[in-house]
Structure 1
């Protein structure tokens, strides 16, 4: 393959980054909608209810302050992820504009990794609070505190840590490259 027929890698990065920029926007919207969908679209979550610490029936039985407090607590991991996705979106926007090995996109990647870690750690805690709020109205002996942990959380913790380390390495590489350019 001659150099004239080789794909322009930076052009591919720009194109894919633009698509991912808009994909992150959709993911952010979904993060804001997922909890209301659980509450107001019956049968939507039946397939993944194993990830929840309380049953859908218990959630739908709530009313008044318990319903809104539970919804708010359930939203915490989604809001953390939306924050992280917004930074990932900013990173992709920078990439689409050929701003790659600069401090800003590297910082956005690091913030996304931190958000991923925090969200993963928050999920079991908010799940426990959700189980308490959802069963608070029950008589003594029928209330529960439930914490859900699984392989997905462990994998996501490692993924978040990996993203943070990669961001640190990229930041150091960019710093060294900048330092080397100043000597020339």
Structure 2
């Protein structure tokens, strides 16, 4: 049990850092999105940080090659934030789960509820959020195209199916955790 509590402490630090760094990374990326990657040295463009490509109906597009207006830049940033919301919310849920692990509550009703929320979040991501984020991003990228070449595309593909699978899997795990918590409570109160 000590090992679970110790690792939980480390993971809580990782989750807190991730919650701060992921939005910051996205903000920096969108502030410098209009910089051409050929104009930036490799030191500044750390591991392709400023490069981002998305798939449109016409093929892959490097976002640094788009002429961004402030409104389109805001639309693209909003699309990325919407796409990252499930990840950020799941980090908060995982923080709650690992706080419980840190105090020794492994098989509890609260953890089962948190796992169910995590599974529902995966399902929501698969069925709605991924498609909405991708649709908004494609719209932002193709708005600079001439009339007749702009796209509003809604898609459902393999990434959606994997999130759907993970959502169902985590919900099943929450059911198992709920049953385990009931058995744990029965065992705890048995004399």
Normalising by structure 1, we get a TM-score of 0.77
Q: Which moved more, 1:106-115 or 1:89-98?
A: 106-115
Match of 1:15 among 2, 6, 11: 6
CA distance in 2, matches of 1:99, 1:76: 32
SS of the aligned residue for 2:137 comes to helix
**1:40-59 maps to which residues of 2 (within 5 A)?**
40=32, 42=37, 43-44=48-49, 46=51, 49=53, 52-53=55-56, 55-57=61-63
CA distance in 2, matches of 1:95, 1:59: 47
| Contact 1:81-1:116 within 8 A present in 2 as well | no
> Are 2:180 and 1:173 aligned?
yes
SS of the aligned residue for 1:55 comes to strand
Gaps of 5+ in 2: 38-47
CA distance in 1, matches of 2:65, 2:84: 17
Residues 25, 119 of structure 1: CA spacing in aligned structure 2 closer, same or farther, 3 A cutoff? farther
Shift of 1:175: 2.4
Q: Which moved more, 1:98-107 or 1:152-161?
A: 152-161
CA distance in 2, matches of 1:118, 1:59: 32
Normalising by structure 2, we get a TM-score of 0.75
Shift of 1:11: 0.9
| Contact 1:58-1:135 within 8 A present in 2 as well | no
1:137-156 Cα shifts (integer Å, max 9, x gaps): 43212212345655444223
Report which of the two has the higher share of helix. 1
Gaps of 5+ in 1: 1-9
CA distance in 1, matches of 2:22, 2:155: 20
| RMSD across aligned positions (CA) | 2.7
SS of the aligned residue for 1:139 comes to coil
| Contact 2:108-2:177 within 8 A present in 1 as well | no
> Are 2:20 and 1:29 aligned?
yes
Count of equivalent residues = 173
Shift of 1:14: 0.8
